[in-house]
């Protein structure tokens, strides 16, 4: 069941070309939505203006080597290890969602663009990666949604309370959940349920990628730049913020 490529199974009724063009169009929506968000909020203009102003006030200007070192540190600590989260449960939930989504997305693209027809044997590990990635996103995402969110844990709001800022995480969770259920029902031969979950899967994916300008999807592109700027400020002395803690109490939160 977990070694069957669900996209190849529907290629008899849905052309692989349609599936491939759908992914391309969704990628364009992400790029266009992120660009629109940057222009609308003027975030890029503000970032570079603020960057130049603070570099001019730097007490200890950094050279190319120092900048490269901080860029690598940002990529490893803040991006790959989610070092921005002090609380261990939140970090674990974020890492599960982050790496799960990457694996799920990579497997989707490979199965659709390389193995979307039954006559091309799909390596067993690709569907397994797809299901594993979806399971990681669901575990980390639902854990965060129902048990970690601040407004649920501290403010005692209903876990089903939705605001516009929740569009990204909700559409992401629904997308992988419906995709997971679609794959399982298709593999089990439940044609009606498979069609039902496929329709919901396409709808949730469309909302996820088309809704970039109104969700927090684009923040994943901003946050590494903001984390890098913060590290540069701390290193060259251009920030007025107090120095960061040594991280020795991370496990206490």
DSSP per-residue letters across the chain: -TTS-HHHHTTTTS-HHHHHHHHHHHHHHHHHHHHHHHHHHTHHHHHHHHHHHHHHT-SS---HHHHHHHHHHIIIIIIIS-TT--SHHHHHHHHHHHHHHHHHHHHHHHHHHTS-STTSPPPTHHHHHHHHHHHHHHHHHHHIIIII-HHHHTS---TT---GGGHHHHHHHHHHHHHHHHHHHHHTT-HHHHHHHHHHHHHHHHHHHHTGGGSSTTHHHHHHHHHHHHHHHHHHT---SPPPP-STTGGG-
Predicted pLDDT of residue 250: 36
- The pLDDT score that the predictor gives to residue 156 is 63
Pick out the chain residues at pLDDT < 70: 40-52, 54-58, 62-63, 74-86, 118, 150-162, 164-165, 216-228, 231-234, 236-253
Q: Is residue 179 part of a domain?
A: yes
pLDDT of residue 77: 65
CA distance 186 to 90: 34
How far apart (Å, rounded) are the C-alpha atoms in residues 199 and 114? 23
> Does residue 118 belong to any structural domain of this protein?
yes
Please name which of 100, 172, 179 lies closest in space to residue 133, comparing C-alpha atoms.
100
User: What would the pLDDT profile of 184-218 be if each residue is shown by its tens digit?
Assistant: 999 998 999 999 999 999 999 999 999 887 776 66
Is the residue at 158 inside a domain? Answer: yes
Residue 166 lies in a domain: yes
User: Is-contact 224 84, C-beta < 8 A?
Assistant: no
Report d(CA 220, CA 98) in Å as an integer: 10
Give domain status of residue 246, yes or no.
no
Please report whether residue 93 resides in a domain: yes
- 4 — alpha (psi -120 to 50), left (phi > 0) or beta? beta
Count: domains in the chain = 1
In the prediction, which pLDDT does 146 show? Answer: 85
What CATH code is carried by the domain that includes residue 199?
1.20.950
Question: And the tokens for 236?
Answer: 């060259």
211 in a structural domain? yes
Q: Which residues contact residue 197 at a Cβ distance below 8 angstroms, ignoring those fewer than 6 apart?
A: 178, 179, 181, 182, 185
Residue 241 inside a domain? The answer is no
Q: Which domain holds residue 126?
A: 6-236
């Amino acid at each position: 069941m977990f070694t069957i490529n669900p996209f190849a199974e529907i290629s008899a009724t849905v052309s692989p070309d349609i599936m491939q063009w759908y992914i391309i169009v969704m990628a364009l929506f992400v790029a266009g939505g992120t660009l629109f968000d940057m222009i609308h909020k003027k975030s890029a203009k503000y970032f570079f203006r603020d960057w130049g102003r603070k570099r001019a006030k730097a007490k200890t200007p950094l050279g190319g080597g120092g900048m490269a070192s901080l860029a690598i540190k940002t990529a490893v600590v803040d991006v790959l290890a989610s070092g921005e989260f002090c609380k261990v449960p939140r970090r674990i939930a974020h890492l599960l969602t982050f790496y799960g989504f990457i694996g799920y997305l990579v497997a989707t693209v490979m199965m659709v663009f390389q193995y979307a027809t039954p006559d091309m044997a799909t390596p067993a590990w690709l569907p397994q990666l797809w299901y594993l990635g979806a399971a990681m996103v669901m575990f980390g995402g639902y854990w965060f949604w129902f048990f970690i969110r601040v407004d649920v844990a501290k403010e005692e709001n209903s876990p089903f309370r939705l605001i516009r800022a929740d569009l990204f995480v909700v559409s992401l969770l629904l997308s992988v959940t419906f995709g997971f259920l679609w794959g399982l029902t298709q593999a089990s031969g439940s044609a009606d349920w498979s069609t039902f979950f496929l329709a919901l899967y396409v709808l949730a994916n469309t909302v996820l990628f088309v809704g970039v300008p109104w969700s927090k999807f684009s923040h994943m592109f901003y946050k590494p730049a903001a984390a890098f700027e913060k590290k540069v400020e701390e290193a060259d002395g251009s920030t007025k913020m107090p120095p960061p803690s040594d991280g020795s109490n991370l496990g206490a939160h």
